[in-house]
Structure 1
Amino acid sequence: MFIMKNGLVALLVLMSVYFTQAGNRIIYTINDGWRFAKGASFGAKAEKFDDALWMKVNIPHTWNNLDSDDEIPGYYRGQAWYRKSVFVDKNKQNKRAFIYFEGANQETSLYVNGKFAGEHKGGYTRFCFDITSLLRFGEKNTFAVLVDNSHNPDIPPLSADFTFYGGIYRDVYLQFTEPVHFSTNHYATSGVYIRTPKVNEDEAVVDVTCLISNDSDSKSKIILENVICDASGREVEKTTSTLALPAKKTVTEVQKNIRIKNPRLWDIDDPHRYMVYSRVYNKDDFRLMDEVVTPVGLRWFSFDADNGFFLNGKHRKLIGTCRHQDYCKKGNALRDEMHVRDILLIKEMGGNFLRVSHYPQDPVVMEMCDKLGIVTSVEIPVVNAVTESQGFLDNAVFMAKEMIHQCFNHPSVMIWGYMNEILLRKPYKDKKKLEQYYLDVEKVARTLESTIREEDPSRYTMMAYHNDPDSYEAARLTDISMIQGWNLYQGWYEPDINEFQRLLDRAHRTYKGKVIMVTEYGPGVDPRLHSYSPERFDFSQEYGIDYHNHYLNEMKKRPFVAGSSLWNLNDFYSESRADAVPHVNNKGIVGLSREQKDTYLFYQASLSKAPIIKIGNREWKTRGGVVNTPENMCSQILPVFTNMEEVELIINGKSLGKKKSEDCIAKFNVPFCNGSNTVEAVGRQAGIELHDLISVDFKLIPSDLNQHEVSFSEMNVMLGSPRYFEDRKAGAVWIPEQEYKPGSWGYVGGTPYRRETGFGTMLGSEVDIAGTDNNPVFQTQRVGLEAFRADVLDGEYSVYLYWAELDSDTKKESLIYNLGAEATHSVAGVRCFGVSINGVSVLDNFSITREYGYARAVVKKFKVVVTNGQGLNIEFSRQEGEPVLNAIRIYKN
């Protein structure tokens, strides 16, 4: 090592090195300007095939990105073709050429200039093909790629609670190397593997395994060099060896026992990475032939069944999230920077753990976990069930090997996972068949366990179970993996939230010596929904906070819980779901577009070491409510999330005083006035002062419609519901129902609709309402309603009545992921009723299902002139069955 004082000389040397290296290994993407068409286009692999009328797309690309946003059940699973012409320079004709796919779902076949180049099975791992012999240098080359995301019983996953997007949804790039190069044919890796058999604070021992290919026709003598540099670029150690490479062979060379004194360790708070520069030189003229750069983190770790996780000898409670590669209207076709932002969200939240679920993800995800100090587990997509075939087992084993080798060099990876809720969908009810199925599942599990431990004995293995321990014990799965992951949803799918901690204690007592992690937990949260009487399955922000607060506190109390990964970092598409947001699993703490929900702010305040103060409900820009203070304002609860001891809240310049935070939450009763409101939170602690500010547009509804201090202009009321709903597209707010009192407004008679489930009743319906993107407005209703009255002043009004029939006349398939919380079947029967407004019949013999069918949004608007102080009186007359009303909007014209 030496220092050049002459900057110009130094720059010239660096440029020389850069261009020398660039001349030996060239890598670039070919993502832009592909032609695309769905279907099995006959002859599309041929070089001269006419694709001029095909759609032009850029990669990353999926053909399913909008399928979950429509009202058509299901999504396209089948074949599609991609074609592209690529010019390849003539000066590359003496190099080896490879094409890399970072991910294509799920079966891929490649043709180059009409000739078959290779195929790959599996949608979530990288693969590459040597295309040297198929390219024409100095001219254009035609690439034709057939991708098929059809169900294949031999390829995991068979089913899962996420959409199986088809397409080339990660980068595609070309790579050119010298004939002698680090191998590309070992599971599409760099051909370099770093092991650290010994690490402590005094010394680290590094072994570097290099696979070197000689694709030339003659033997070659080379010098292999591995240089280890620290993060500043300072050389720490260097080792070399001389090798003779036979022609057309790949040789494995291991340089062992490279010692680093007083290493700077990779840790959560200081994720220092060394860089290993692996270089191949021609022995005769010392010409650089190939180079690979591999980051390496020096750390040691362990899990203990009673005391949890230790990193570099220090106890660490792992708290973080799971993550799906999914984004609003993009599906899984995300750009690199979008993956980067997601991992930054976890770090900014204070999280230190990511369960990469349920499949290996984009390489940049692991790179970011390395850079940010986030411990990770990675798993293959063996989810819900297995196929009892050798083909399924072979593909699962191959996926496991791909995952391990492709993620091997990442210091953040400490756990390999391979099964998730594998007994959730049992294919047999017959006892003997089920017993045989258990044996087949056990065979897959034990084969994967032994494969992973053989390929990488340095890391831990994990299997994730759902809350059915008897079945997993019957299949002898609970004693196989080193870590037991438990996906627990008590207080969501099951009614008693306190069963959560009882299940944890049971697992610790029952499975002696097993490490316990909570690998999934979380409620659905629609950030548009709020409730001051929160309950499970209401999808409100407030229930989400209650739920996560309970779970986090119970896990912190138990040192044997090594870690947890809440479900999920982000909302994600799942075609089979309905709920508040159709076709979306909204258990994320951020939304599909990465809006931060209150649950994210709660974790940020709970986990961050730096001072945090964030006003909750911050995206609830349009609020509303009924006057409930003598000052003609509406007082509503507003949370402030902070890790500071005390917080002051100021509304429209007036202080509401200070409050202590409990579990990182301070709740204030805030009096909102009609129109614009400014809310400021101030935290002061140890000489630090933090401020947060939000603006709220509040729509105030008078409690007495005859008084003039607050004028009435509109109200939007959801019947049978205690919730608030923000219609963000219209800038409108829907408020809970109330019982009518003279001079005010509200319902007369009836009861809220509640669906029967295997665990008691729950609010409203979970069905997808066709014809609207405001499901919550239509998913609740008041049944047996007699009237809705509003004692408004004289004038002209528009009255909108909202309906959807929530009781089906046909039996629908139960959604297995709801684990007993699915509604039991109820039949609508015949429902006919009449509606009159101020004594005038406006609807007679009205049947929702006869005219519109089941679960379809219906809105009828009536113009009404109110005179003589009579107000509005909407009456419902029973003719057959019980009248219902889902929501009402009254607008003063």
Structure 2
Amino acid sequence: MKKFLSIFILLFIVGWAQAQQRVVYTINDGWKFKKGSLFEAQLTSCDDSSWEVINIPHTWNDKDGDDETPGLYRGPAWYRKSLLLDKSQEGRQAVIYFEGANREVQVYLNGAFVGEHKGGYTRFCFDITPHLRYGQENLFAICVNNVHNPNIPPLSADFTFYGGIYRDVYLQFMNPVHVATHDYASCGVYIRTPQVDKSEATVEVTTLLTNQTDRAVDVLVENVICDATGKEVRKTDASVRLAAGETKTDVSKKIKITSPRLWDIDDPYRYRVYTRILDKKRGALLDEVVNPLGLRWFEFDSERGFSLNGKARKLIGTARHQDYFEKGNALRDEMHVRDVLLLKEMGGNFLRVSHYPQDPVIMEMCDKLGIVTSVEIPVVNAVTETEEFLNNSVEMAKEMIRQDFNRPSVMIWGYMNEILLRRPYTEGKQLEDYYRYTEKVARALEATVRQEDPSRYTMMAYHNAPQYYEDARLTDIPMIQGWNLYQGWYEPDINEFQRLLDRAHHTYKGKVLMVTEYGPGVDERLHSYQPELFDFSQEYGLVYHRHYMKEMMKRPFIAGASLWNLNDFYSESRIDVVPHVNNKGIVGLDREHKDSYWFYKALLTQKPMVVIGNREWKARGGVVNTDNRACLQSIPVFSNAEEVELFTNGQSLGNKRLEAGCAFFDVPFVDGDNQLEAVALVDGCRVHDLLTVRFELIESFLKDSQKPFTELNVMLGSPRYFEDREANMLWIPEQEYKPGSWGFVGGTPYRRKTGFGTMLGSDIDIYGTNQNPIFQTQRMGIKSFKADMPDGEYSVYLYWAELDSDKKKEALVYNLGADSEQVLAGNRSFGLSMNGVTVLDDLNIARDYGYARAVIKKFMVTIKNGEGLRVDFHPKEGETLLNAIRIYRNY
């Protein structure tokens, strides 16, 4: 009997030793899903027949995070899936692996509790070997909860806290003797390069080994370094004895590589390190893990900035959020890949992965493309003064570092962003105690990061309140100070930006400085030839970015900058011109390129390029403003040439020198199609760009029009053009009435008061529309709107919204003082007549429709006897108002 048992054990060991190696695959498809705290949803007896069927990646907030109802569902939800596992993997170790789920997770398998995880942005895994049933159905039940928990960062932030399993879920099968997976869901292999130069590199490989059998085993740990073609470069091996159930750390001896090919921004060369565990007696491969190896050295200096492999490089790039239009954060791998490609094509060499670790494919792409990265944990805005909060923060830092330890692109670990933006106290002992605890958290995180990975730099990002951070003693802690600066957006004077840079350089001697955020909000649909801060126009976006880049490039002590942001992203509490969206991206939620993207590409890319700007403006038009019946409008052209020539309809508009990648041409648009061509010479290479612009010419003097009148769409109180993309129509700025023309009579534009002056229009969300800019400006005290169009039958649409509330609202902390000062609406009512006929006697927008509600009234009007259209406003109480007018000729 003993002999038979020994033979059985021997055959079993040989069997798993010769079995296929790691098997890893996703189980993303066909989950049952239901929101709520459901009783015993982990049990097989739970009836999920009526549950929604979904695929992972998934979030339950993609719709309610972008609707008109404030707030979104934050609470528990359940995912269930029955999965038949065949017997091919029986006898192996099994792990369920999550790339990310927000933000508290409990996992059950076949009714048994498997494990839990706290934190929404790092990976985690659980050993499910004891609970699997091979050859049978297995019930996976997962509870995910995104409710606010004061002990789990982030507490608050300017992005939406989506709930759900929004990244891939895997099953992973391994032999019982394998490279460990339980070390914070890392790969179990850590590669260090303590010495690298052009002549020689030293590599150390640390491996965590696990023996999950009930007997000791002798293994050979082999590390093979191969070049990018797969050719072996170096190899080491070591014998290790593992006791039953033991996990042991094995550190390879130093591996020398002579004349290494370096990982660099322009040549991101990667070796591969194969870590193999072999049965020492039989030579059978038990497990294998592959990791990238990038050989490089780098330095940050407080005066000279950043250098890589001994060469000075200015790091210029973006931050990035993991959002997409109507998908929330539940993105496929291909969409993450696309984003990093966008950054590389722009010429960016830096990505601030913020404000949390992101999908592994993001890091993989940065390694491949030569993009230097900083990665940070989501300790944002504030801390909770508890040990549990501190411990959770420290655990997140360890997860982040160990999971991306081997990435050659990672050179900075970050751990706090604008942490004093939401101070719970403003003065006294409570504030002092809060400062001290925040300092305690910061020092604990700094110590953790430096202990975990002394080879990289640490960074903390501050907002423009340096005194707060000095009082809290936070400016001394990290190796790199990141400054989030928005002068010319949240603060009025754009030139204060460079003064703050020089102040920081003078004040914080020896500290490396980076600009970790800067950028204005830009709505692709808005344009203005009178750009100003907070108008969200493409044109002001260019003014802002050109200024910031000019000043940063002047200063070698600025090691780098990450503009905010690569893409627009959802922020449920925001309003502005696009509700629930922070539109500071240089590409949109759907990745449409804004002019600011082309500006950076012209400035940063080495590949010859020329692009005509405003190319997304499809429904374009304007008022005749030249003697030859054209509309002169400015067009930007972007190129990395020295000069560019622009042609319109075959006629040259001349050559212009480019300044920081931009040249501006006044283009005489005519009615109909306009053919634009830009031509430039870059390093002897001729490049050109073609753009067809369909232009709607609007007559200024309607009675003398050579073109039949069809429609007129005017936003009152506004100098902006707005493209209504749903209807393919253009709204144009207002003008004052002159006989024979059209325009307003009387009144003043609505401008909201802020902490430092006035701004165009309102920043409130207008309910009942997704065309906020039409309703966010208005002319107050208007007497009339007149248009001297020809006789005919017309539809006249009048647009209103009450922009002054009768209720106080909370200021949005992220606007840093740029919020409107509260103006409480008085009672205002007025009558309305058209060509002398009373159409409304007592219109009171606030009374009849409420605050911030879009109101459109359509009137049918017959114009005869050459009288044109006259809309008169008759005040009864308070001021009259009008937001927009549309005049459409029926026949």
TM-score by length of 1: 0.97
Question: Do 1:486 and 1:517's aligned partners in 2 also have CA atoms closer than 8 Å?
Answer: yes
Alpha-carbon distance between aligned partners in 1 of 2:467 and 2:654, rounded to the nearest angstrom: 53
Alpha-carbon distance between aligned partners in 2 of 1:552 and 1:477, rounded to the nearest angstrom: 27
Per the alignment, residue 588 of structure 1 pairs with 585
Counterpart selection for 1:476 from 470, 473, 478: 473
The letter of the residue matching 2:495 is N
Question: Do 1:799 and 1:863's aligned partners in 2 also have CA atoms closer than 8 Å?
Answer: yes
Alpha-carbon distance between aligned partners in 1 of 2:637 and 2:88, rounded to the nearest angstrom: 63
Per-residue displacement from partner, 1:243-292 (whole Å, max 9, x unpaired)?
Answer: 11111010100002100000000000000000000000001110000000
The letter of the residue matching 1:869 is G
Matches within 5 A, 1:632-651: 632-651=629-648
Q: Secondary structure at the match of 2:344?
A: helix
Per the alignment, residue 12 of structure 2 pairs with none
Alpha-carbon distance between aligned partners in 2 of 1:645 and 1:374, rounded to the nearest angstrom: 27
Matches within 5 A, 1:818-829: 818-829=815-826
The letter of the residue matching 1:724 is Y
Question: Do 2:17 and 2:286's aligned partners in 1 also have CA atoms closer than 8 Å?
Answer: no
Alpha-carbon distance between aligned partners in 2 of 1:685 and 1:326, rounded to the nearest angstrom: 36
The letter of the residue matching 1:476 is R
2:99 aligned with 1:102? yes
Q: Secondary structure at the match of 1:565?
A: strand
Counterpart selection for 2:178 from 172, 176, 181: 181
Alpha-carbon distance between aligned partners in 2 of 1:318 and 1:707, rounded to the nearest angstrom: 57
Structure 1: segments with no counterpart, 5+ residues:
1-18
The letter of the residue matching 1:112 is L
2:399 aligned with 1:421? no
2:692 aligned with 1:688? no
2:502 aligned with 1:505? yes
Question: Do 2:17 and 2:279's aligned partners in 1 also have CA atoms closer than 8 Å?
Answer: no
Counterpart selection for 2:46 from 35, 44, 49: 49
Per the alignment, residue 704 of structure 2 pairs with 707
Alpha-carbon distance between aligned partners in 2 of 1:882 and 1:751, rounded to the nearest angstrom: 11
Per the alignment, residue 203 of structure 2 pairs with 206
Question: Do 2:96 and 2:127's aligned partners in 1 also have CA atoms closer than 8 Å?
Answer: yes
RMSD: 1.0
Per the alignment, residue 35 of structure 2 pairs with 38
Alpha-carbon distance between aligned partners in 2 of 1:609 and 1:688, rounded to the nearest angstrom: 12
Matches within 5 A, 1:172-571: 172-571=169-568
Deviation at 1:659, TM superposition (A): 1.6
The letter of the residue matching 1:723 is R
Per the alignment, residue 154 of structure 2 pairs with 157
Deviation at 1:300, TM superposition (A): 0.4
Counterpart selection for 1:798 from 765, 775, 795: 795
Alpha-carbon distance between aligned partners in 2 of 1:843 and 1:412, rounded to the nearest angstrom: 66
Alpha-carbon distance between aligned partners in 2 of 1:273 and 1:802, rounded to the nearest angstrom: 60
Alpha-carbon distance between aligned partners in 2 of 1:815 and 1:629, rounded to the nearest angstrom: 44
Question: Do 2:17 and 2:175's aligned partners in 1 also have CA atoms closer than 8 Å?
Answer: no
Per the alignment, residue 171 of structure 1 pairs with 168
Matches within 5 A, 1:50-129: 50-129=47-126
Deviation at 1:690, TM superposition (A): 1.1
Deviation at 1:69, TM superposition (A): 2.5
Question: Do 2:625 and 2:632's aligned partners in 1 also have CA atoms closer than 8 Å?
Answer: yes
Alpha-carbon distance between aligned partners in 2 of 1:22 and 1:348, rounded to the nearest angstrom: 44
Q: Secondary structure at the match of 1:451?
A: helix
Alpha-carbon distance between aligned partners in 2 of 1:845 and 1:657, rounded to the nearest angstrom: 57
Change (3 A) 1:159 1:194: same
Deviation at 1:430, TM superposition (A): 4.0
Alpha-carbon distance between aligned partners in 2 of 1:290 and 1:414, rounded to the nearest angstrom: 30
The letter of the residue matching 1:375 is V
Counterpart selection for 1:760 from 738, 757, 760: 757
Deviation at 1:657, TM superposition (A): 2.1
Question: Do 1:25 and 1:177's aligned partners in 2 also have CA atoms closer than 8 Å?
Answer: yes
Question: Do 1:621 and 1:695's aligned partners in 2 also have CA atoms closer than 8 Å?
Answer: no
Deviation at 1:655, TM superposition (A): 2.2
User: How many residues were matched structurally?
Assistant: 875
2:617 aligned with 1:620? yes
The letter of the residue matching 2:86 is D
Q: Secondary structure at the match of 1:776?
A: helix
Question: Do 1:799 and 1:888's aligned partners in 2 also have CA atoms closer than 8 Å?
Answer: yes
The letter of the residue matching 2:499 is R
Alpha-carbon distance between aligned partners in 2 of 1:88 and 1:220, rounded to the nearest angstrom: 28
The letter of the residue matching 1:721 is S
Q: Secondary structure at the match of 1:845?
A: strand
Alpha-carbon distance between aligned partners in 2 of 1:76 and 1:225, rounded to the nearest angstrom: 50
Deviation at 1:710, TM superposition (A): 2.4
Question: Do 1:632 and 1:709's aligned partners in 2 also have CA atoms closer than 8 Å?
Answer: no
Alpha-carbon distance between aligned partners in 1 of 2:18 and 2:249, rounded to the nearest angstrom: 23
Per-residue displacement from partner, 1:320-378 (whole Å, max 9, x unpaired)?
Answer: 00000000111000000100000001100000000000000000000000000000000
The letter of the residue matching 1:379 is E
Alpha-carbon distance between aligned partners in 1 of 2:68 and 2:108, rounded to the nearest angstrom: 36
Counterpart selection for 1:605 from 602, 605, 609: 602
Question: Do 2:17 and 2:284's aligned partners in 1 also have CA atoms closer than 8 Å?
Answer: no
Question: Which moves more between the two structures, 45-54 or 866-875?
Answer: 45-54
Alpha-carbon distance between aligned partners in 1 of 2:245 and 2:19, rounded to the nearest angstrom: 24
2:574 aligned with 1:577? yes
Deviation at 1:680, TM superposition (A): 1.5
Deviation at 1:582, TM superposition (A): 0.5
Per-residue displacement from partner, 1:848-892 (whole Å, max 9, x unpaired)?
Answer: 000100001000000101011100000111110000000000111
Per the alignment, residue 8 of structure 1 pairs with none
Question: Which moves more between the two structures, 584-593 or 651-660?
Answer: 651-660
The letter of the residue matching 2:805 is S
Question: Do 1:323 and 1:356's aligned partners in 2 also have CA atoms closer than 8 Å?
Answer: yes
Question: Do 1:61 and 1:333's aligned partners in 2 also have CA atoms closer than 8 Å?
Answer: yes
Matches within 5 A, 1:856-875: 856-875=853-872
Per-residue displacement from partner, 1:640-685 (whole Å, max 9, x unpaired)?
Answer: 1111112121222222222221221111111112122222211124
Alpha-carbon distance between aligned partners in 2 of 1:718 and 1:697, rounded to the nearest angstrom: 21
Per the alignment, residue 13 of structure 1 pairs with none
Question: Do 1:77 and 1:149's aligned partners in 2 also have CA atoms closer than 8 Å?
Answer: yes
Per-residue displacement from partner, 1:84-126 (whole Å, max 9, x unpaired)?
Answer: 0111111211100000000000000000000000000000000
Counterpart selection for 2:745 from 743, 748, 769: 748
Q: Secondary structure at the match of 1:387?
A: coil
Question: Do 1:525 and 1:586's aligned partners in 2 also have CA atoms closer than 8 Å?
Answer: yes
Q: Secondary structure at the match of 1:657?
A: strand
Alpha-carbon distance between aligned partners in 1 of 2:202 and 2:19, rounded to the nearest angstrom: 31
Q: Secondary structure at the match of 1:670?
A: strand
Alpha-carbon distance between aligned partners in 2 of 1:772 and 1:582, rounded to the nearest angstrom: 10
Question: Do 1:59 and 1:169's aligned partners in 2 also have CA atoms closer than 8 Å?
Answer: yes
Deviation at 1:628, TM superposition (A): 1.1
Deviation at 1:166, TM superposition (A): 0.2
Q: Secondary structure at the match of 1:23?
A: coil
Structure 2: segments with no counterpart, 5+ residues:
1-15
The letter of the residue matching 2:437 is D
